[in-house]
Structure 1
């Protein structure tokens, strides 16, 4: 695959491009950003594949974070002689890190959707520019096939994204419960909830594994059709 687009920019222009791109993003002008990148020889399809890879990597990281958070929560329940304040800090830290990982996944998936919509709109508009009817039909079939694979990928990503909500809610409940009930009874009450949390985390991780596989399949399929 072509080197990632930010590696294609010469060192001497990195600072100027960085300022320009920041201003474009702050203004919410995705179309201007994509137009600027195209002038640099970087197509939407390259940005799209890069962002799918970023979303896949973010889900990998989120899996590790949720696993780690569950392990720390398990330690809180399993070690009753740890000072309660320290236990609360463990749960709070686990929650905050899980929340940050979830936010990263949200942002990556939204970025994929943004560039995909721009890419497909451009592709659709350019079908009318063909003089050859056979080439136009071939491109249209390829567009529909790519859109179909993309919709499957996005559905899988959004499902994995949705799975994070109940897990974060469960972590937040436990954090608040410890925060406002710093006493020995709080630990006993948490033990009954641990099984439910473990099930939610396991389900989330399985869903993310499916989404990651779909991402990798989409990247391979997209690369093969682009050649």
Structure 2
């Protein structure tokens, strides 16, 4: 087998295994009385909470970055190490956000596929029309929420990347001249974090609205 295929095939198999595991999970949950709608609501809440945690951690990392750049006395090494730790935690939170959004997409795709297929099972045209309208409405709301989530998630790495570079630079240049040279970078990163926070707040609000819509539909 060509080398390119030996690398590609395991990746495909892992992807299929993960997809299969999620399908089995959803099937098991449904047998326990939890519909895909319930699982979707739970995963949207988890994604919302992950974004809130990532937002707070990134703001904390920015605050620590500012303390390092504007260092005025004390233990510089300890201050730098705290920044490095904050950044590492921020990157872990970012990865959790990506995973939670992927989980949301997985169950949503299964839910909408099943819902669409079941529309053909109606013999009552009026009931089908109502279900079809609810399907379209829910899918539109979901699309708006997912777009907001992905927009916020895509802003995370452009914020963390420059901080990652600065932390790496400071690792080998922990002196007053190096700190002074990073003040301009602090201003740029601060503006990026501000925009990220705004996007995350919008995403969190969209998630809350979508969850409320699902709960209202159930009521």
Give the TM-score taking structure 1 as reference length: 0.85
2:179 equivalent to 1:187: yes
Q: Once the two structures are superposed, what CA deviation does each residue of 1:22-80 show, in whole Å capped at 9, x if it has no partner?
A: xxx76742222111111111100000001111111111111211111111111112224
2:161 equivalent to 1:169: yes
CA distance in 1, matches of 2:143, 2:205: 14
Q: Once the two structures are superposed, what CA deviation does each residue of 1:169-197 show, in whole Å capped at 9, x if it has no partner?
A: 02101111101323332111111211011
2:9 equivalent to 1:33: no
For structure 2, the 5+ residue unaligned runs are 1-16
Contact 1:80 1:187 in 2 (8 A): no
Instruction: Give the aligned partner of residue 100 of structure 1.
Output: 92
79, 104, 114: which one pairs with 2:71? 79
Q: Once the two structures are superposed, what CA deviation does each residue of 1:150-172 show, in whole Å capped at 9, x if it has no partner?
A: 00000000001011011110210
1:33-72 equivalences under 5 Å are 33-72=25-64
CA distance in 2, matches of 1:60, 1:173: 24
CA distance in 2, matches of 1:189, 1:90: 20
Between 173-182 and 210-219, the greater mean CA deviation after superposition: 173-182
CA distance in 2, matches of 1:27, 1:101: 23
Offset of 1:93 from its aligned partner? 1.0
Contact 2:70 2:179 in 1 (8 A): no
Give secondary structure in 2 for the equivalent of 1:41. Answer: coil
Instruction: Give the aligned partner of residue 216 of structure 1.
Output: 208
2:139 equivalent to 1:147: yes
Contact 1:55 1:109 in 2 (8 A): yes
Contact 1:91 1:171 in 2 (8 A): no
CA distance in 1, matches of 2:208, 2:174: 45
Give secondary structure in 2 for the equivalent of 1:58. Answer: helix
Give the TM-score taking structure 2 as reference length: 0.88
CA RMSD of aligned residues (A): 1.7
CA distance in 1, matches of 2:138, 2:123: 22
For structure 1, the 5+ residue unaligned runs are 1-24
151, 163, 166: which one pairs with 1:159? 151
CA distance in 2, matches of 1:26, 1:137: 35
Instruction: Give the aligned partner of residue 14 of structure 2.
Output: none
100, 106, 110: which one pairs with 1:114? 106
Give secondary structure in 2 for the equivalent of 1:29. Answer: helix
